[in-house]
């Protein structure tokens, strides 16, 4: 189920976003990227509006948005935890870092904690392979990770949970 | 503005800063530098300068490629060479400022090397360091040296003179120059660049497009990121030259969304170019008009394939289509289109700034010039390197990379990412060029080079890559969509000790079908990691299947941990750290692992004090250990009897 947000909020945001574009079909991906940057995900209502704005079928909007891994259809947490699963990170122990993060947050990749505080994702490669394994919280990159450093990075070591 | 005016203006600006006599501090602030802690170092530098009331110029440079030594900080005083310091911390940065800028002690004990003219006693030249000495830096010529956010520094160093030279030639002459240089596509396929341009140039039509492929999706590769972050103008100049040669008026830079800093630097670079009239209509007063748009990728690996990328730019699902027609005939919106990779464009600007003959002087007969590689994995000196084609893997892994950490044994080097293969120690003498790598079953690829040691399981490695390609398959071709899934399932089974003897033949058979039945290179190369590992490490597959043993002791389902009764001192550290309470024991009692409860996380092995070394990890064998905790002395006594 894709949750609905209140139509008023979304509409106002969308108007501001649409004002920056020309309504051309090739603008679909950038428009969706802007919406996600503002709302954190793509609500169903927003995608219908995009279809109307670009004069393309809703099915095309859904088809494109579901093709790309970047797009989310559920609200994401306030803090975005991303783990690199690149080759170098894999070889240097990324699976154990992931295990530890899953344990700390109690969620699997693609999920969000119930309090909407954290979402967890894995990324194919961040391109910081020389500092593998790499973990990114929001926009801060943490290199040379160890399972022990996970609690520290998540700021959870003090609370002891 | 013509080129002479542009050059004059840029040189004046750069010289006014350099001539001011103020000391200069450089901090490596590419994504990798930031991950290593460059930002706190930068803050510390600022506060140290304020404390000592020093007026210095601070520049955030890109990545020089010595990622293992980051964070990096350079200092330059007027009339002296630039000194590079490695592994800087906020504390040591403050100390260095005090030592060198206040007390004039360059701290040779902490310096890594000097850059530029002149020398300082006790400090070697940076480019004499073993990691840098064998390198030839053409594409990466400015990375980590100049300020990527300042077009003046690029121009003052000879930037855009390649464009100036190209504009004085005919389109065909530029193409011929490229052909003469022998440059081949650096995205991985290695198609001759000049020839690609010629197809597009000769293709009828007035509207033509040019694309820079910066959708660096290979896990384990970061050459394009470094280049765009550290020297965006080298790429943009190349694109302008290409636009002139093929007659394109519009271009796209397709960049991964995972590279926000690269995008930021590109946006800034384009703004500065506008100011100089280096982009837009009638560039430098010539007939060339060229506009560039940045397109952010949305997280689909397959979009690195040219036809998929064009579909994505058009706002569609990024799925490849069959060729012909090739993009040079019918590409973006049905118009002739030329696509080259980031590194290719950076080489184009260098070739036009110098000459085709100079460039062709490097490399081998069929693979000219240099290639950048992202060196990562189990290697001492990780980082970004650029070497002449034809260098051996041995030289890259040992001379440049400094070998394997912890005296471990080299097992393989993985080139070409998920499309490439694992090359064993017996091939370390292989020269790195397009043909040799292909002959060995791997590919050059875009330049990812991941070293693996004896602790890495080769079957797990193949499984890892198949997990990737299987998830990234766009689903258009059935052999790729379903075949990779079947291969992955089989590899999962083998890693879990459930492999069947016939699996190997089935893997080989499926590989052939997938290669033959896929439209694009994603499917066409997806089986490569399996094929090369089967070719060079078949015994490891067989150990997993027949003996249920993982020789690298890496596959959790095939390994077990035991506590040796004669070595355990009953200290209880393992018991306290075990996440599943699988360890039983008491003070001065030999601890015992319950194999049913154990999840093979390896924590007990990590925490057991080195002087005891009581925990062992084995595969395919059982260790004789007591079933219940016994007193430490009893175990010892039994041992003695």
Domain residue limits, chain A: 7-67, 79-160
Cβ contacts of residue B566 below 8 Å, gap of 6+?
Answer: B635, B636, B639
Confidence of residue B56 (pLDDT cuts 50, 70, 90): very high
Neighbouring CB atoms inside 10 A of B218's CB total 28
Q: Which CATH number fits domain A79-160: 1.20.1090.10, 3.20.20.140, 3.40.1280.10, 3.40.30.10?
A: 3.40.30.10
pLDDT tens for each residue of B113-163: 999 999 999 999 999 999 999 999 999 999 999 999 999 999 999 999 999
Confidence of residue A160 (pLDDT cuts 50, 70, 90): very low
Q: CA B278, CA B66: separation in Å to the nearest integer?
A: 32
**CB–CB of B312 and A126 under 8 A?**
no
Confidence of residue A96 (pLDDT cuts 50, 70, 90): confident
Q: Compute the average pLDDT of residues B387-412.
A: 96
Check whether the bond before A100 is cis (ω within 30° of 0): no
Q: CA B522, CA A57: separation in Å to the nearest integer?
A: 29
Closest CA to B228 of B271, B197, B267: B267
Provide, as residue numbers in chain A, all residues whose Cβ is less than 8 Å from the Cβ of B214.
none
Q: What tokens were used for B525?
A: 């190369």
Give yes or no for a contact between B43 and B68, defined as CB atoms under 8 angstroms apart: no
Q: Which of A86-95, B375-384, B483-492, B615-624 has the highest mean pLDDT?
A: B483-492
Q: CA B220, CA B230: separation in Å to the nearest integer?
A: 19
Q: CA B455, CA B6: separation in Å to the nearest integer?
A: 55
% of chain A at pLDDT higher than 90: 51
What single-letter DSSP state applies at residue B141?
T
CATH topology identical between A7-67 and A79-160 = no
Check whether the bond before B325 is cis (ω within 30° of 0): yes
Nearest-by-CA chain A residue for B315: A26
Q: What is the pLDDT of residue A4?
A: 41
Q: CA B257, CA B292: separation in Å to the nearest integer?
A: 17
Q: What is the pLDDT of residue B638?
A: 55
Q: Residue A1: pLDDT above 50?
A: no
pLDDT tens for each residue of A48-75: 999 999 999 999 999 999 999 999 998 8
Confidence of residue B580 (pLDDT cuts 50, 70, 90): confident
Give yes or no for a contact between A92 and A132, defined as CB atoms under 8 angstroms apart: yes
Q: Residue A127: pLDDT above 90?
A: no
Q: What is the pLDDT of residue B640?
A: 52
Q: CA B137, CA B146: separation in Å to the nearest integer?
A: 14
Q: What tokens were used for B363?
A: 């490399």
Q: Residue B331: pLDDT above 90?
A: yes
Alpha-carbon distances of B552 from A113, B411, B456, B540, rounded to whole Å? 36, 10, 6, 9
Q: Residue A2: pLDDT above 90?
A: no
- Coil vs helix vs strand at B36: helix
Confidence of residue A161 (pLDDT cuts 50, 70, 90): very low
Q: Compute the average pLDDT of residues B394-404.
A: 96
Strand order across the A140-142 sheet? A118-123, A79-84, A135-137, A140-142
- Chain B, 375-394: which have a CB under 8 Å from a chain A CB? 375-378, 382-384
Chain centroid to CA B183: how far? 21
pLDDT tens for each residue of B278-323: 999 999 999 999 999 999 999 899 999 999 999 999 999 999 999 9
Q: Residue B96: pLDDT above 60?
A: yes
Q: What is the pLDDT of residue A158?
A: 44
How far is the alpha carbon of A91 from chain B, nearest alpha carbon, in Å?
6
* Of residues B222, B300, B450, nearest to A67 (C-beta): B300
Q: What is the pLDDT of residue A156?
A: 63
Residue B607, burial from CB neighbour count under 10 angstroms (0-12, 13-18, 19+): middle
What single-letter DSSP state applies at residue B535?
H
Provide, as residue numbers in chain A, all residues whose Cβ is less than 8 Å from the Cβ of B299.
68-70, 124
How far is the alpha carbon of A8 from chain B, nearest alpha carbon, in Å?
27
Nearest-by-CA chain B residue for A65: B317
Q: CA B87, CA B92: separation in Å to the nearest integer?
A: 9
Alpha-carbon distances of B435 from B34, B344, B364, B389, B488, rounded to whole Å? 37, 18, 10, 11, 29
Provide, as residue numbers in chain A, all residues whose Cβ is less than 8 Å from the Cβ of B301.
124
Chain centroid to CA B240: how far? 26
Q: What is the pLDDT of residue B639?
A: 53
C-alpha torsion angle, residues B144, B150, B153, B159 (rounded to 10): 100
Buried b (16+ CB within 10 A) or exposed e, A9-42: ebeebbeebbeeeeeeebbbbbbbbbbbeebbbb
Q: CA B183, CA B171: separation in Å to the nearest integer?
A: 17
- Chain A, 102-161: which have a CB under 8 Å from a chain B CB? 103, 123-132, 134, 139, 141-144
Q: CA B619, CA B547: separation in Å to the nearest integer?
A: 9
**CB–CB of A130 and B67 under 8 A?**
yes
Closest CA to B462 of B442, B438, B433, B482: B442
> How crowded is the C-beta side of B99, counted as CA atoms within 13 Å?
16
Mean residue pLDDT of chain B comes to 94
Residue A47 φ/ψ, nearest 5 degrees: -65, -35
- Chain B, 430-459: which have a CB under 8 Å from a chain A CB? 448, 450, 452, 456
How far is the alpha carbon of B292 from chain A, nearest alpha carbon, in Å?
15
Check whether the bond before B71 is cis (ω within 30° of 0): yes
Give yes or no for a contact between A2 and A21, defined as CB atoms under 8 angstroms apart: no
What single-letter DSSP state applies at residue B100?
I
How far is the alpha carbon of B51 from chain A, nearest alpha carbon, in Å?
28
List, as own/partner pairs, every contact residues B310-315 make where C-beta atoms lie below 8 angstroms and the sequence separation is at least 24, other chains included. B310/B211, B310/B337, B310/B339, B312/A29, B312/B254, B313/A26, B313/B211, B313/B252, B313/B254, B314/A25, B314/A26, B315/A25, B315/A26, B315/A27, B315/A28, B315/A29, B315/A64
Confidence of residue B637 (pLDDT cuts 50, 70, 90): low
Cβ contacts of residue B466 below 8 Å, gap of 6+?
Answer: B484, B487, B488, B491, B526, B529, B530
**CB–CB of A128 and B414 under 8 A?**
no
Confidence of residue A78 (pLDDT cuts 50, 70, 90): confident
Q: Compute the average pLDDT of residues B46-62.
A: 96
How far is the alpha carbon of A140 from chain B, nearest alpha carbon, in Å?
8
Put simply, whether A73 touches B (Cβ < 8 Å) is no
Q: Residue B256: pLDDT above 50?
A: yes
Q: What is the pLDDT of residue B310?
A: 97
Intra-chain end-to-end CA distance of chain B, in Å? 94
Q: Compute the average pLDDT of residues B410-436.
A: 95
Closest CA to A23 of A52, A48, A53, A50: A53
Q: What is the pLDDT of residue B23?
A: 95
Q: What is the pLDDT of residue A59?
A: 96
Buried b (16+ CB within 10 A) or exposed e, A45-63: bbbebbbebbebeeebbbe
- Chain B, 246-265: which have a CB under 8 Å from a chain A CB? 257-260
Q: What is the pLDDT of residue B608?
A: 93
How far is the alpha carbon of A130 from chain B, nearest alpha carbon, in Å?
5
Match 């003052």 to its residue by tokens: B156
Q: What is the pLDDT of residue A135?
A: 92
Among A125-129, B261-265, B450-454, the minimum mean pLDDT is found in A125-129
Enumerate the H helices of chain A as residue ranges.
Answer: 7-18, 28-39, 44-54, 58-67, 87-91, 94-105, 147-153
Nearest-by-CA chain B residue for A127: B222
Q: Are strands B111-115 and B82-85 parallel, antiparallel or unpaired?
A: antiparallel
Cβ contacts of residue B483 below 8 Å, gap of 6+?
Answer: B510, B513, B514, B517, B523
Residue B212 or A99, more confident: B212
Q: What is the pLDDT of residue B636?
A: 58
Q: What is the pLDDT of residue B149?
A: 97
**CB–CB of B317 and A64 under 8 A?**
yes
Closest CA to A36 of A59, A2, A65: A65
Tell me, which fold does domain A7-67 have in CATH?
Answer: Arc Repressor Mutant, subunit A (1.10.10)
Q: CA B242, CA B236: separation in Å to the nearest integer?
A: 10
Provide, as residue numbers in chain A, all residues whose Cβ is less than 8 Å from the Cβ of B31.
126-128, 141
Q: What is the pLDDT of residue B432?
A: 96
Alpha-carbon distances of B282 from B2, B165, B167, B174, B279, rounded to whole Å? 11, 16, 11, 18, 8
C-alpha torsion angle, residues B579, B585, B586, B588 (rounded to 10): -120
Confidence of residue A5 (pLDDT cuts 50, 70, 90): very low
Q: What is the pLDDT of residue B627?
A: 85
Q: What is the pLDDT of residue B235?
A: 98
């Amino acid at each position: 189920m894709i949750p609905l947000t209140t139509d008023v909020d979304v509409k106002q945001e969308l108007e501001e976003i649409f004002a920056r574009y020309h309504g051309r079909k090739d603008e679909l991906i950038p428009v969706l990227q802007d919406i996600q940057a503002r709302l954190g995900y793509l609500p169903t209502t927003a995608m219908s509006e995009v279809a109307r704005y670009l004069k393309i079928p809703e099915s095309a909007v859904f088809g494109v948005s579901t093709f790309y891994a970047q797009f989310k259809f559920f609200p994401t947490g306030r803090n975005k935890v991303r783990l690199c699963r690149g080759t170098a990170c894999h070889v240097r122990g990324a699976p154990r870092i992931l295990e530890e993060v899953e344990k700390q947050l109690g969620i699997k990749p693609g999920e969000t904690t119930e309090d909407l505080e954290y979402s967890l994702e894995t990324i194919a490669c961040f391109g910081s392979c020389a500092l593998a394994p790499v973990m990114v919280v929001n926009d801060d990159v943490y290199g040379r990770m160890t399972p022990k450093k996970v609690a520290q990075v998540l700021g959870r070591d003090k609370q002891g949970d | 503005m013509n080129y002479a005016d542009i050059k004059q203006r840029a040189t004046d600006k750069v010289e006014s800063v350099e001539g001011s006599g103020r000391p200069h501090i450089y901090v490596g602030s590419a994504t990798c530098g930031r991950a290593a802690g460059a930002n706190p170092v930068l803050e510390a530098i600022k506060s140290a300068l304020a404390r000592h009331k020093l007026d210095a110029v601070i520049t955030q440079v890109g990545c020089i490629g010595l990622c293992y030594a980051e964070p990096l900080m350079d200092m330059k005083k007027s009339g002296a060479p630039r000194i590079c310091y490695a592994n800087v911390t906020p504390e040591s940065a403050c100390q260095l400022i005090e030592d060198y800028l206040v007390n004039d002690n360059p701290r040779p004990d902490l310096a890594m090397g000097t850059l530029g003219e002149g020398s300082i006693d006790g400090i070697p030249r940076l480019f004499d360091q073993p990691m840098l000495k064998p390198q030839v830096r053409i594409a990466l010529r400015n990375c980590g040296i100049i300020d990527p956010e300042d077009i003046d520094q690029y121009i003052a160093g000879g930037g855009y003179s390649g464009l100036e030279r190209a504009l004085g030639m005919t389109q065909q002459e530029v193409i011929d120059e490229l052909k003469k240089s022998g440059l081949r596509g650096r995205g991985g396929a290695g198609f001759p660049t000049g020839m690609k341009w010629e197809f597009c140039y000769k293709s009828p039509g007035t509207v033509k497009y040019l694309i820079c492929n910066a959708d660096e999706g290979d896990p384990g590769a970061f050459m394009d990121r470094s280049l765009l972050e550290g020297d965006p103008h080298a790429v943009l100049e190349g694109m302008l030259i290409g636009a002139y040669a093929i007659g394109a008026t519009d271009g796209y830079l397709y960049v991964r969304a995972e590279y926000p800093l690269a995008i930021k630097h590109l946006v800034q670079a384009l703004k500065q170019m506008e100011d100089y009239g280096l982009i837009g209509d009638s560039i430098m007063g010539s007939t060339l008009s060229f506009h560039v748009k940045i397109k952010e990728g949305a997280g689909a690996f397959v979009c690195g394939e040219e036809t998929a990328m064009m579909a994505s730019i058009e706002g569609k699902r990024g799925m490849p289509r069959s060729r012909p027609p090739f993009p040079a005939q019918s590409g973006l919106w049905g118009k002739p289109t030329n696509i080259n990779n980031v590194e290719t464009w950076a080489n184009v600007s260098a070739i036009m700034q110098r000459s085709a003959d100079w460039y062709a002087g490097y490399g081998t007969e069929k693979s000219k010039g240099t290639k950048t590689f992202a060196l990562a994995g189990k290697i001492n000196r990780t980082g970004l390197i650029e070497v002449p084609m034809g260098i051996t893997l041995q030289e890259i892994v040992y001379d440049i990379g400094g070998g394997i950490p912890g005296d471990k044994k080299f097992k393989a080097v993985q080139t070409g990412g998920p499309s490439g293969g694992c090359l064993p120690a017996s091939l370390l003498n292989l020269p790195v060029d397009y043909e040799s790598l292909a002959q060995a079953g791997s590919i050059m690829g875009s330049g990812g080079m991941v070293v693996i040691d004896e602790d890495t399981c080769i079957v797990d490695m193949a499984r890892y890559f198949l997990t990737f390609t299987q998830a990234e398959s766009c689903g258009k071709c059935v052999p790729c969509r379903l075949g990779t899934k079947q291969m992955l399932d089989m590899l999962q089974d083998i890693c879990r000790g459930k492999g069947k003897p016939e699996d190997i033949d089935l893997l080989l058979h499926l590989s052939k079908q997938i290669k033959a039945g896929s439209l694009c290179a994603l499917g066409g190369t997806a089986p490569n990691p399996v094929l090369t590992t089967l070719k060079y490490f078949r015994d490891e597959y067989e150990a997993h299947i027949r003996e249920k043993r993982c020789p690298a002791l890496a596959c959790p389902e095939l390994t077990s941990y035991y506590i040796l009764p004669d070595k355990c001192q009953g200290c209880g550290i393992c018991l306290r750290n075990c996440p599943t309470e699988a360890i039983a024991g008491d003070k001065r009692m030999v601890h015992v692992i319950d194999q049913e409860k154990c999840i093979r996380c390896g924590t007990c092995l990590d925490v057991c004090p080195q002087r005891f070394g009581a925990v062992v990890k084995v595969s395919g064998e059982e260790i004789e250990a007591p079933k219940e905790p016994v007193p430490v002395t009893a175990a010892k006594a039994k041992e003695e009897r």
